[in-house]
């Protein structure tokens, strides 16, 4: 029996756990007792983090498509075919006809390396990853207001805060060890406001539960700010010392009286006033949000409103406060930090800045790097459909299930001249690929993940990858070498991190030696920098905190006569995204076996739908049959469907309308009809 | 009775490794204590009960039941060497005896006894709890007892196997030293045992209303940790993986806190809410096992309370239950 300390591969909370192995096989999990977040606990996914790793479905050798079928191939052949395929597209249609999709499941080192491969070897900034689908609104919105797009505070701040405002985050299900810490805070007396029209578990513990209409967050938050300003509850000294642009904000929210807010949100004016007074009256208040804020066609505006509220009440830059976006994936923070983004190199250094470009070009060797920002992942799918993107390299993502409007995604992927998918299982997306490259999972390689609280932590190899599978960083290095590009030979991930540290100011002080046992929180600029649990203490990354006024825009598609229900999508507690890992984990699979739709009893009665009966849910884009789950979690008129299940894919229904600034899709709201399926 | 210094005890463990697979409390790289081998980290006998259940040495989180191919059925081999497991407290030993009886009940669980039957079990007691606190002596269920005081260790053998394993160790010659352990054990408070019997009585008399369980259920995030660290939880699930080479069947720790645990094939679930499942977890230990086995199957080891992220481990729940529903009014109504 061997126990190896590593990081949980599921959500962004960043729990560390010990994988128990025996004879080269994983046989269990033990939580770390001393880790500042896990503290001897885990959620059900963490307790089962070992259980998918040796599944017989794991990919064990490269696959190359021949006469329409995928057949096993050697690494030499597969690498040659991939390089020839990508180069071929590049030669025929130019570098920007290629798109690279990196992975929030892969390590920092691997995200950095794929970013380097796209920019250095294939001369394109068309590199992105699934942060586009979850927190791109955060990166844009918080950077606008604070100069940095990351969680401002630490999870431990929940122990000291006076009030927690959870908006658009089902925290106990999606970040369970943060959710349970919120519950603990509420039990010790911290006030809790939950804004979510589903009656999520945290709502049962809230002082105030605001069930506002889906997509009306801007109206709610602007109205709260109107109350705070009109009742003289702003933090005046903070506003004067630390912020700018206040007059414009005050002007923009002046018309958002509680009555007007109530008309848009469906709340009562009193609820809005209560929320505003509670929030502003707290000596310290934390805003916690997730996809309920970001996944809208006005996601960036929602984020700006959260930032404005925190600035108005002086809740930034100190313990127990802050704007705290909870990052979904284990390494989605790191994917962003590493520059797997179309407009940034690692450390959010702009590709448009000639000095930055020169810095990277000099270090990487070779000629000039591309200056024009690349395509976001969501826009790349449109471009593929239009024939502007011809080749795509997808590492560890399953867009066929996770992108909005599955039909659109399928047509886009099928239209590509060349598709490479690097994966641990033959996912729905991988089945469409011309070449499939088998990769090692988190337990089979070294590297680092960066958690939602900017904590960079070591991932350790416990067992060997199956068959011929290789770590993503090894595959990327081999591709670069095969393409004739130097600068991709590394002894291991620690050497890649050394390169990251040289080029990335926030990671400047990070080395593998310093990361044991429980990591460091960036920014960590120098070898003796202890890291930064709380951002913006003395000043904001951009100097002064900038109020950024927001005009309310309704969601793109609202219910009408033909499609009278609001559909909102998300995850369940036991499954992870497209179910690649969790549906192959016995206890998690048993817990949620099949797709379902949550429907309020009033609606179900009206439609003659009974528990577990098949329900047909239809939108303008598609139609699925799922089991009815009758529940007061959703209010009348609202349906919830998780997006894990290929056999009842919520994303056949969702609306591929994008936020104009962040290009995030509006996963959280579209119009559908529902009826009993005979 | 044997007397050893820390160094001599370490030497003893090293000698045992020749014939035994030695598992004992060790400290892992980040300070987490676990049941490991000498090469996993420094010995950590001090500090009280381990976060993971020591009964996991015999009933691990996951174990193979068989592999079946076209030509053969392969059963797992017994361990090459018998297990020597140290680190049990008196509460852990009571738990071990409880599950010994459970797994021995017809049909006997071969997988469990494959590891358990030839194992040597050692308790660690005395002034070795958290912060040097005292852990009660015990002789029930162990072959050996390691007693800690400021001078080092005393070793008591409670079985023939224990005597044989320790026969070459130096004898202790100070009977007064042992007297101190006996006296300290006798003066241990039994507040928790009182709480346990009060809570069990409330449940058996059905004096805890549904509203109480609704509140507890509201606080359960279904992590399953309470079951997975509980030394008397014995439920397991079965999983088959089919591949070209055949079928691999394993069993793994299961949890009655999962919705899928009791769900019937048609979808109906007799434990269909967190409230019912939370009630079952506690009721099973305090009332159902008492009827089935004649004893309460919570031995107050504290592990579920330590791992529960929302503070509804069994001791916390019993305290709330007794405080709210065990008052004089309830006493009278019985």
**Residue of B28, B37, B61 with shortest CB distance to A27:** B61
Q: What is the pLDDT of residues A640-657, one digit of tens each?
A: 999 999 999 999 999 999
Q: Are B87 and B24 in contact (CB under 8 A)?
A: yes
Query: Quick one: DSSP state of residue A129?
Result: -
Domain range spanning residue B73?
Answer: 2-187
- Please name the residues in contact with B290: beta carbons below 8 A apart, sequence gap of 6 or more: B200, B204, B296, B297
* Structure ipTM: 0.96
Judge if B274 and B308 occupy the same domain.
yes
DSSP letter at A606 equals H
Is the same domain home to B150 and B261? no
In this prediction, residue B332 has a pLDDT band, given cuts at 50, 70 and 90, of: very low
In DSSP terms, which residues pair with B4 in a beta bridge?
Answer: B153
| DSSP three-state, residue A621 | coil
pLDDT recorded at residue B331: 53
Give the pLDDT score at B79.
Answer: 85
Tell me the three state secondary structure of residue B107.
Answer: coil
Identify the sign of the CA torsion A203, A206, A212, A217: negative
* Confidence class for position B330, pLDDT limits 50, 70, 90: low
Which of B159, B187, B215 marks a domain boundary? B187
**Residue B40 shares a structural domain with residue B58:** yes
pLDDT in the model for residue A635: 97
**One domain, residues B117 and B230:** no
Q: What is the pLDDT of residues A36-95, one digit of tens each?
A: 999 999 999 999 999 999 999 999 999 999 999 999 999 999 999 999 999 999 999 999
- Are B63 and B168 members of one domain? yes
Tell if the CB–CB gap between B51 and A31 is shorter than 8 Å: yes
- B201 and B319 share one domain: yes
Tell me: pLDDT of B288 over 90.
yes
Q: Nearest residue on chain B to A21, judged by CA atoms?
A: B62
Q: Take residue A584 and report the two structure tokens written for it.
A: 């192959």
Q: Closest-CA residue in chain B for A586?
A: B239
Residue ranges per structural domain of chain A? 80-130+331-521, 136-325, 565-676
Mean of the per-residue pLDDT values for chain B?
A: 94
Please give, one letter per residue, the 3-state secondary structure of A154-184. Answer: CHHHHHCCCEEEEECCCHHHHCHHHHHHHHH
B37: contact with A, CB 8 A cutoff: yes
B21 Cβ under 8 Å from any chain A Cβ? no
For the full predicted model, state whether its pTM sits above 0.90: yes
Give residue B328's pLDDT band: very low, low, confident or very high (50, 70, 90).
low
Based on the fold, state whether residues B126 and B207 are members of the same structural domain: no
Number of domains chain B is built from: 2
Q: What is the pLDDT of residues A171-183, one digit of tens each?
A: 999 999 999 999 9
Among B187, B207, B242, which residue terminates a domain? Answer: B187
Peptide bond just before A517 cis, omega within 30 deg? yes
pLDDT exceeds cutoff 60 at A254: yes
Q: In this model, does residue B191 exceed pLDDT 90? A: no
Please check whether residues B35 and B173 belong to one and the same domain: yes
pLDDT greater than 50 at residue B228: yes
Is the same domain home to B88 and B208? no
Span A386-415, pLDDT tens digits:
999 999 999 999 999 999 999 999 999 999
Q: How many angstroms separate the CA of residue A191 from the nearest CA in chain B? A: 16
- The fold adopted by the segment(s) A80-130+331-521 is Rossmann fold (3.40.50)
**CATH code, residues A565-676:** 2.40.40.20
- Answer yes or no: do A587 and B258 touch at CB < 8 A: yes
Which pLDDT band, with edges at 50, 70 and 90, does B200 fall under?
Answer: very high
- Mutation pick from B83, B250, B309 vs chain A, by most beta carbons of A within 10 Å, is B309
Q: Are residues B183 and B199 in the same domain?
A: no
Decide if pLDDT at B172 tops 90: no
Residue A186 parent element (H or E): helix A176-188
Question: H/E element holding A598?
Answer: strand A596-599
Tell me if domain A136-325 and domain A565-676 are identical in fold: no
Nearest chain A residue (CA) to B221 = A172
Please tell me whether residues B131 and B157 are part of one structural domain: yes
Mean pLDDT along residues A477-488? 96
Q: Mutating which of B30, B238, B258, B316 best tests the A interface, going by the most A Cβ atoms within 10 A?
A: B30
> What pLDDT is stored for residue B333 in this prediction?
44
List of chain B residues whose C-beta atoms are within 8 Å of the C-beta of residue A516? 29-30
Question: Residue A665: is the preceding peptide bond cis (ω within 30°)?
Answer: no
A252 vs B328 pLDDT, higher one: A252
Assess whether B174 and B206 both reside in one domain. Answer: no
- Among the three residues B146, B162, B187, which one is the final residue of a domain in this structure? B187
**Binding-face residues of B in 131-160 toward A, CB within 8 A:** none
- The CATH code of domain A136-325 reads 3.40.228.10
């Amino acid at each position: 029996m061997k126990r190896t300390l590593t990081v949980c591969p599921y959500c962004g909370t960043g729990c560390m756990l010990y994988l128990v192995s025996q004879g080269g096989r994983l046989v269990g999990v033990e939580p770390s007792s001393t880790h500042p977040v896990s503290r001897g606990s885990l959620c059900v996914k963490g307790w089962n983090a070992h259980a998918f790793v040796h599944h017989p479905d794991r990919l064990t050798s490269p696959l190359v498509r021949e006469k329409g079928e995928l057949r096993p191939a050697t690494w030499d052949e597969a690498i040659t075919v991939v390089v020839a395929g990508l180069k071929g597209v590049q030669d025929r249609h130019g570098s920007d006809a290629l798109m690279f999709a990196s992975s929030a499941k892969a390590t920092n080192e691997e995200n950095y390396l794929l970013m380097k491969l796209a920019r250095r070897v294939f001369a394109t900034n068309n590199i992105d990853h699934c942060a586009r689908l979850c927190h791109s609104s955060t990166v844009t919105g918080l950077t606008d207001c604070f100069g940095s797009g990351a969680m401002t505070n630490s999870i431990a701040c929940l122990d000291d805060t006076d009030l927690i405002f959870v908006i658009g985050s089902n925290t106990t299900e999606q970040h369970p060890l943060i959710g349970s810490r919120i519950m603990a805070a509420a039990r010790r007396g911290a006030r809790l406001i939950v804004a979510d029209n589903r009656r999520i578990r945290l709502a049962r513990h809230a002082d105030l539960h605001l069930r506002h209409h889906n997509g009306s967050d801007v109206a709610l938050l602007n109205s709260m700010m109107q109350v705070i300003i009109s009742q003289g509850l702003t933090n005046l000294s903070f506003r004067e010392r630390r912020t700018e642009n206040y007059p414009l904000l005050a002007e923009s929210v002046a018309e958002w009286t509680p009555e007007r807010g109530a008309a848009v949100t469906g709340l009562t004016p009193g609820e809005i006033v209560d929320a505003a007074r509670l929030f502003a009256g707290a000596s310290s208040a934390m805003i916690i949000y997730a996809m309920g804020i970001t996944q809208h066609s006005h996601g960036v505006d929602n984020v700006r409103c959260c930032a404005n509220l925190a600035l108005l009440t002086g809740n930034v830059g100190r313990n127990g406060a802050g704007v705290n976006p909870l990052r979904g994936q284990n390494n989605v923070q790191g994917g962003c930090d590493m520059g797997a983004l179309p407009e940034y190199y690692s450390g959010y250094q702009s590709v448009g800045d000639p000095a930055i470009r020169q810095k990277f070009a000099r270090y990487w060797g070779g000629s000039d790097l591309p200056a024009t920002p690349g395509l976001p992942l969501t826009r790349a799918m449109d471009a593929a459909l239009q024939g502007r993107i011809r080749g795509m390299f997808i590492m560890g993502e399953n867009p066929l299930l996770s992108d909005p409007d599955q039909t659109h995604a399928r047509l886009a992927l099928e239209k590509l001249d060349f598709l490479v998918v690097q994966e641990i299982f033959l996912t729905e997306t991988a089945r469409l690929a011309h070449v499939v490259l088998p990769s090692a999972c988190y337990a089979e390689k070294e590297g680092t993940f960066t958690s939602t609280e900017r904590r960079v932590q070591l991932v350790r190899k416990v067992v060997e990858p199956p068959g011929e599978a290789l770590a993503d960083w090894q595959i990327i290095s081999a591709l670069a070498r095969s393409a004739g590009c130097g600068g991709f030979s590394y002894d291991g991930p620690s050497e890649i991190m050394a390169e990251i540290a040289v080029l990335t100011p926030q990671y400047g002080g990070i080395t593998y030696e310093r990361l044991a046992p429980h990591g460091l929180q960036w920014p960590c600029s120098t070898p003796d920098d202890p890291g930064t649990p709380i951002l913006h203490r003395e000043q904001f990354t951009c100097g002064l905190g900038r109020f950024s006024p927001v005009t309310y825009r309704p969601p793109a598609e609202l219910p009408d006569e033909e499609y009278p229900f609001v559909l909102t999508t998300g995850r369940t507690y036991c499954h992870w995204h497209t179910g690649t890992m969790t549906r192959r984990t016995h206890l998690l699979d048993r817990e949620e076996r099949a797709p379902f739709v949550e429907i309020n009893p009033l609606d179900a009665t009206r439609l003659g739908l009974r528990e577990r009966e098949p329900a047909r849910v239809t939108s303008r884009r598609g139609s699925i049959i799922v089991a009815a789950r009758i529940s007061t979690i959703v209010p009348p008129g609202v349906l919830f469907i998780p997006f894990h299940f290929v056999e009842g894919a919520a994303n056949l229904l969702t609306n591929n309308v994008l936020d104009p600034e962040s290009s995030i899709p509006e996963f959280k709201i579209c119009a559908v009809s529902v009826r009993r399926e005979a | 009775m044997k007397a050893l210094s820390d160094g001599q005890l370490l030497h003893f463990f090293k000698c045992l490794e020749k014939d035994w697979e030695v598992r004992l409390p060790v400290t892992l790289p980040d300070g987490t204590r676990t049941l490991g081998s000498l090469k996993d980290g420094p010995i950590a006998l001090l500090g009280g009960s381990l976060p993971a259940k020591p009964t996991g040495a015999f009933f691990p989180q996951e174990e193979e039941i068989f592999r079946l191919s076209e030509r053969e059925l392969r059963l797992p081999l017994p361990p090459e060497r018998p297990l020597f497991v140290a680190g049990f407290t008196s509460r852990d030993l009571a738990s071990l005896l409880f599950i010994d009886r459970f797994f021995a009940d017809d049909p006997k669980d071969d997988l469990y006894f494959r590891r358990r039957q030839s194992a040597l079990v050692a308790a660690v007691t005395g002034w070795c709890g958290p912060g040097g606190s005292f852990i009660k002596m015990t002789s029930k269920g162990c072959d050996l007892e390691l007693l800690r005081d400021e001078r080092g260790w005393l070793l008591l053998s409670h079985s023939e196997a224990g005597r044989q394993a320790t026969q070459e160790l130096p004898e202790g010659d100070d009977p007064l030293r042992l007297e101190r352990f006996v006296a300290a054990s006798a003066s241990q408070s039994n507040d928790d045992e009182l709480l346990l019997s009060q809570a069990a009585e409330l449940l058996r008399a059905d004096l805890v209303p549904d509203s109480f369980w609704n509140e507890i259920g509201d606080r359960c995030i279904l992590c399953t940790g309470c079951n997975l660290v509980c030394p008397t939880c014995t439920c397991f699930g079965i999983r088959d993986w089919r591949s070209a080479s055949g079928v691999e069947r394993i069993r793994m720790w299961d949890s009655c806190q999962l919705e899928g645990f009791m769900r019937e094939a048609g979808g109906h679930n007799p434990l269909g809410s967190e409230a019912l499942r939370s009630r079952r977890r506690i009721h099973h230990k305090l009332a159902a096992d008492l009827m089935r086995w004649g004893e309460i199957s919570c031995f107050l080891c504290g592990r579920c309370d330590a791992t529960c992220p929302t503070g509804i481990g069994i001791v916390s729940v019993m305290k709330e239950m007794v405080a709210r529903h065990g008052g004089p009014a309830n006493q009278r109504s019985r």
